[in-house]
Structure 1
Amino acid sequence: MAGTPAVVMRLVASAFAVAERAGGIARKVMRSGDLGIVEKTGANDLQTLADRLVQKSICASLSQHFPKVTIIGEEDLPAEAVEEELIENGQSEEILQKPCPSEYINIKEEELVVWVDPLDGTKEYTEGLLDHVTVLIGIAYNGKAIAGVINQPFFNYQLGPGATLGRTLWGMLGLGAFGFELKEVEGGKCIITTTRSHSNKLVADCVQAMEPHDVIKVGGAGNKIIQLVEGKASAYVFASPGCKKWDTCAPEAILNAVGGKKLFLHVCPQ
């Protein structure tokens, strides 16, 4: 008789199911036509009803089953009761069947941290650039991103009415990444992906220093990492402060799971 899966595997399996529910919430809010937009620090830092509902759903669902895990979400929301319809109790059976990497088998709940970006690419969500939007759930241990789940609520939306929307990608160090086809940029070209709404001279100079064949400007850290793993870009360059751990944890885990790297470059003054 098989034993109970390791805590981290059960957490990833739950995060997968929760991310899929989150994608459904984002689509439902969009269909309603009332996005409930508020500005947090300015026109480029927005929050919508989808941000609020998705964060409540993810945090409440995971807390219910993993009460000792630290869960940190991007949005500063008041403590209040969460509607039952937002709670997800399911788990991905596919993930539960995967073998846990040996170095993570004995991790305890209280040693894990979950970083949540309920709607990565909120500005793009409000502008109808729906393929830029992702839901990010990252799992960290000892300060290192070890697993991540990315849901694309509007994947396939360009196919029009009747298309099946949404997909969920996930990855874990020592296991690999799933839910997409790993590709490299064709012809060995240097194609850079970078920010579409937070650029400045330093970012532009760093991008051009790479002498790219092409530059893809898109929203959302999760979306940019998807550009990398699916062979649409070879590097994501963002030489500026601004990314937080809820932006990077899930994408970094998936990128590292397929052999990619996140690099911090420090330039010393002359």
Structure 2
Amino acid sequence: MAPMGIRLSPLGVAVFCLLGLGVLYHLYSGFLAGRFAFLVLGGAPGAEPGVVVVGVVDLRELLAASVAAAVQGGAEVKRVRESNVLHEKAKGKTREGAEEKMTSGDLLSNRKMYYLLKAAFPGVQINTEEHLDADDQEIISWDRTIPEDIKRQIQPKLVQADSVTMWIDPLDATQEYTENLRQYVTTMVCAAVDGKPVIGVIHKPFSGYTAWAMVKGGSNIKARSSYDEQTPTIIVSRSHEGKVRQVASQTFGNKTKIINAGGAGYKVLSLLDVPEADQDKADVYIHVTYIKKWDICAGNAVLKTLGGQMTTLAGEEISYTGSDGNEGGLIASININHRALVEKLPVLDKSSQN
């Protein structure tokens, strides 16, 4: 008698295969849900050419795109200023009562920078200074080119996209921009991972100089060879000086030199070795009033990369998530005992709200 065989109908085979695929998909998608999501066209290290994993971001690519965004925004800033058609308007007052200005340079730079980064990294949260209307949408592509100086220093590093918060300042020092004090003007991009500043780009549109840095990666800028810790030169805001001049003189002595300057980006660069003839040199940067995070995140990342610090006046780390403002003032330094500086300034913290 011939052995009996098992016959499977085509329908049964199909059902069996579908069930098997369903189990595999469930297991696989469960893994991906917390990690990668799915594949789309783009580019990522370790992936097939032209493929990127949505849900993760390569910080090296993000740095390169941030440089491209700052430069493109800066080109708009420069073009508008040189055309002398700023369409200047007031957008409100600061807590200290100073009028905040906005120009077409702010708006056009903002649009270029935001849409370049948003198109390249759609899964990343981007906070920017200026409001974007639906009518302002623009398609701006980034060619995913990594500049050679970044390639040499920075290795690819993947992080989850939802851990990244970006801060764009499309035109830092708008007041000075309207006064044609061009040396103070910068465009800035910062990326924070889990609230900690990791990537910083500060671009000077009118000279073309760009400083970039990635924490635990590298930078194209460095600290100066020496700083005066005993009688430091302190750089403060032209328009938001508050009581810092008086308190700084009381703390460090009457011989302390105070520099008034525009733009948070410019002030951070004053602490570093910048090959710009019109760049002031300072030892400490102090701001005693409320300040927006897009003003300071990029500078914080640059200083942190080089071993410096930017904290609140109480010495606390500044988190770059949540609200867009930093309430605690700031003190920034590099190659100086930062904790000792903070301890010298207890009265400054008390006077931070004017």
TM-score by length of 2: 0.65
Corresponding residue for residue 108 of structure 1: 160
Once the two structures are superposed, the pairs formed by residues 161-240 of structure 1 within 5 Å of their partners are: 166-178=208-220, 180-185=221-226, 190-200=232-242, 202-208=243-249, 209-211=251-253, 213-230=256-273, 232-240=281-289
Corresponding residue for residue 162 of structure 1: none
The offset of 1:90, in angstroms, is 5.1
The offset of 1:39, in angstroms, is 0.5
Say if 1:90 and 1:19 are closer, same or farther in 2 by CA, change over 3 A.
farther
Q: Which has the larger radius of gyration?
A: 2
- SS of the residue 1:199 aligns to: coil
User: Distance between the aligned counterparts of 1:97 and 1:64, measured in 2?
Assistant: 26
Higher relative contact order, chain-length normalized (CA < 8 Å, sep 6+): 1
Say if 1:130 and 1:191 are closer, same or farther in 2 by CA, change over 3 A.
same
Contact 2:202 2:298 in 1 (8 A): yes
Contact 2:120 2:142 in 1 (8 A): no
Corresponding residue for residue 264 of structure 1: 312
- SS of the residue 1:248 aligns to: helix
Residues 87-96 or 7-16, more deviating:
87-96
User: Distance between the aligned counterparts of 2:218 and 2:233, measured in 1?
Assistant: 24
Matched, 1:253 2:301: yes
Contact 1:206 1:237 in 2 (8 A): no
Once the two structures are superposed, the pairs formed by residues 87-126 of structure 1 within 5 Å of their partners are: 88-89=142-143, 91-94=145-148, 95-100=150-155, 105-126=157-178
Say if 1:106 and 1:89 are closer, same or farther in 2 by CA, change over 3 A.
closer
Corresponding residue for residue 103 of structure 2: 48
User: Distance between the aligned counterparts of 1:140 and 1:207, measured in 2?
Assistant: 31
Matched, 1:131 2:171: no
Letter in 2 for 1:80: D
Matched, 1:34 2:111: no
Deviations 1:162-214 (A, max 9, x none): xxxx1111001112321x453145666511100111122x3223321233531
Contact 1:184 1:234 in 2 (8 A): no
Letter in 2 for 1:222: G
User: Distance between the aligned counterparts of 2:225 and 2:176, measured in 1?
Assistant: 26
The offset of 1:83, in angstroms, is 4.3
Gaps of 5+ in 2: 1-44, 275-280, 315-345
Contact 2:61 2:144 in 1 (8 A): no
Contact 1:16 1:91 in 2 (8 A): no
The offset of 1:7, in angstroms, is 1.1
Letter in 2 for 1:135: T
The offset of 1:153, in angstroms, is 0.6
Letter in 2 for 1:19: A
User: Distance between the aligned counterparts of 1:142 and 1:73, measured in 2?
Assistant: 18
- SS of the residue 1:229 aligns to: coil
Deviations 1:36-93 (A, max 9, x none): 1110114631111111011111110111111001011011231234345x65545332
Residues 129-138 or 39-48, more deviating:
39-48
Say if 1:57 and 1:214 are closer, same or farther in 2 by CA, change over 3 A.
same
Superposed CA RMSD in Å reads 2.4
TM-score by length of 1: 0.84
The offset of 1:34, in angstroms, is 0.2
Letter in 2 for 1:215: I
Corresponding residue for residue 146 of structure 1: 198
Say if 1:41 and 1:87 are closer, same or farther in 2 by CA, change over 3 A.
farther
- Percent identical pairs in the alignment equals 31
The offset of 1:25, in angstroms, is 1.1
- SS of the residue 2:265 aligns to: helix
- SS of the residue 2:187 aligns to: strand
User: Distance between the aligned counterparts of 1:90 and 1:122, measured in 2?
Assistant: 30
